[in-house]
Amino acid sequence: MKRVISIIFLATFLSLLLMSCGSSSANTASDSPAQYIENKGSDTIVNLALAWAEKYQTDNPEVRISVTGGGSGTGIAALINGTVDIANASRKIKDEEVAEAQSKGITPVEHIIARDAIAVIVNPENPVRKLTLQQIADIYSGKITNWAGVGGEDRPIVKLSRETNSGTHVYFLETVLRLGEKENKTLFSTDTLLLPSSEGIISEVRTNPNAIGYDGLGYVPDDLVMIAIAEEAGGNYVLPSIATVNDKSYPIARDLYMYTNGEATGILKEYLDWLLNTEAQQIVAELGFVPVK
Amino acid sequence: MEKSLNWREFVITRAIKASGYSAIVFVLLIFFFLMREGLPAIGEVEAGNLFSLRWYPIEEMFGILPLISGSIIVTIGAALIAVPFGIGTAVYISEIAPRWMREILKPLVELLGGLPSVVLGFLGILVVSPNLRILLDLPTGLTAFTGSLLLGGIAVPTVVSVAEDALDAVPRAYREGAWALGATKWQTIWRVTLPAAKSGVLTAIMLGVGRAIGETMTVMMVTGNAPVLATRLGSLFSPVRTMTATIAAEMGEVANGSVHYHTLFLIGIILFLISLTVNVLASSVVFRTKKRAERILS
């Protein structure tokens, strides 16, 4: 008798559990029609994507756009796993990622939605104001370890970088440390501090006159000093700005991407088209990025 | 009536039994999961690479020695801070402080234990690290020592509350005996109360160290995360990268099933083994001292 009752009890409990699961999934299905856009990826783009999503949702209240960061790799991985509609990336998708996507039946399509420049930043107390790409590469690879080596005071150099999974890290490695050369295998020196967020880099540069860091132009606050950069010794030293990125004279600039699965259709296409119009690109400029048009 | 009582008894005992067994089941499941995800790394990464001094996963460099040394040096630093402070505080609360002081101190220490570690991390970035850099004239304030200081702060409440309970449990007669023999307050604490509470105090230290080695958020924010092998005492004052921070920073981005993924789980296994060793060592010490304490007291 005891056993029978306990089985009935268990069965009731299980069926209640199943019922609650069933009804909750039914609910989410009815609440999220095709008007729902899931957008995830690069931390560089996340503020921009949020601003866009907010503006677009006020104008089109029937569309819900959710934006999350996590890094370019995370976004692309989510696109490959089919959990997002748009992956934000601050780097081009890698060949192996395309291959992995295709093996899962997903065709990533690229959209350039804005441009970005990486600014090299120092503390205002540091008198150094200009560097060549080669000098920055030597600093980050550990060949120059004192500011005196690049015309500054006799201070140790503390190198700050984003974590290795950041698109900005990879871009900086390829463009600056390796000077864009494919066979160049220069690495960050091991004593480079790898900080998990832009905020970490900015707060350390703000308080530490020994520090050198890099970050997206859109994230550099006014109280830090940006370094003018020349592509080679004797060349023109150029400060990063919207104008210098657009005329391609500033050497550390890149395109920002959104990836979709296949050519965008319907609501997704409308949204991506809207991103390139004047109103949306105005937001790009307001956030310190560089408009594509 | 009796029947319904029986029935209730049956459900309750079964429920309690199930929750008891579930702890074992969960530990075993976690262990098997760790092994399944982490052990493939040993075959995939060459030993020369695994025991090299360079951790740079995006170029397939998986040297884990700097990470292990980073965790160890931060934890040792934290223990050096948390153990004397924690036990000192516990002794003060339990043996010296007047009753009203104890009533204020104990809840305050427990409140400190409830602080989210990310809050301490912010405190570390904004206050501790800039001041430490100026005070000690270091190149940067994001060092192992900064991590140790904050982890010490995290571990202190654990040490205090467990050690204080142990001291509190020492029978009053022991102290009265010591005083009757003419021992001073300090002699009583050092020679009688603390030895009598030794196993509880050791448990407190062990739990504190365990808390420190597993802490992630704070160390990720304040230690600089530079994977440099810590070889000398001076390494305490330079940036390090711990195992926990590495797993936390990289696990979210890694492709499921890749070499990097397996290696991160391998680091998890190493962390697990280190905690296990600390636990086993501590409990064996506890057993031995219990016997000795019993011998002395009998």
Which pTM was predicted?
0.76
* Subunit contact B139:A158, Cβ cutoff 8 A: yes
What are the tens digits of pLDDT across the range B267-292?
A: 999 999 988 888 888 777 766 665 66
Q: Of A205, A290, A281, A221, nearest to A250 (Cα)?
A: A290
pLDDT given at position A171: 85
Q: Mean pLDDT, chain B, as a whole number?
A: 88
Rounded mean pLDDT, A250-256: 89
What are the tens digits of pLDDT across the range B22-61?
A: 989 998 999 899 999 999 998 888 888 889 889 998 888 8
Query: Using CA atoms, how far apart are residues A77 and A67, in angstroms rounded to an integer?
Result: 15
pLDDT given at position B296: 59
Please identify among residues 51-80 of chain A the ones whose CB lies closer than 8 Å to any CB of chain B. Answer: 70-71, 73-74, 77
Residue B3 banded pLDDT, cuts 50, 70, 90: low
> Tokens for B189?
């604490």
Under DSSP, is residue A208 helix (H, G, I), strand (E, B) or coil? coil
**Residue A235: pLDDT above 60?**
yes
Please identify among residues 127-146 of chain B the ones whose CB lies closer than 8 Å to any CB of chain A. Answer: 129-130, 133, 139-142
What are the tens digits of pLDDT across the range A195-221?
A: 988 888 999 999 999 999 998 887 788
Domain formed by A116-253, architecture = 3-Layer(aba) Sandwich (3.40)
pLDDT given at position B65: 92
Instruction: Please state the domain extents for chain A.
Output: 35-115+255-286, 116-253
B198 touches chain A (CB under 8 A): no
Instruction: Please state the domain extents for chain B.
Output: 39-297
Residue B246 banded pLDDT, cuts 50, 70, 90: very high
Domain formed by A35-115+255-286, architecture = 3-Layer(aba) Sandwich (3.40)
- Least confident range from A17-26, A276-285, B180-189: namely A17-26
Rounded mean pLDDT, B124-148: 91
What are the tens digits of pLDDT across the range B73-104?
A: 999 999 999 999 999 999 999 999 999 999 99
Question: Angle A15-A16-A17 (CA atoms, 0-180°, nearest 5)?
Answer: 90
**Percentage of chain A exceeding pLDDT 90:** 47
Domains A35-115+255-286 and A116-253 share a fold: yes
ipTM of the complex: 0.81
Q: Using the 8-state DSSP alphabet, how is residue A210 labeled? A: T
pLDDT given at position A223: 92
Please identify among residues 20-79 of chain B the ones whose CB lies closer than 8 Å to any CB of chain A. Answer: 53-54, 56-59, 66
Q: How far is A63 from chain B (nearest CA, A)?
A: 28
Long-range pairs, A22-26, Cβ under 8 A, ≥24? none
CATH number belonging to domain B39-297: 1.10.3720.10
* Inter-chain Cβ pairs, chain A and chain B, closer than 8 A: 90
* Whole-number Cα distances in Å, B135 to A260, B158, B270: 52, 29, 35
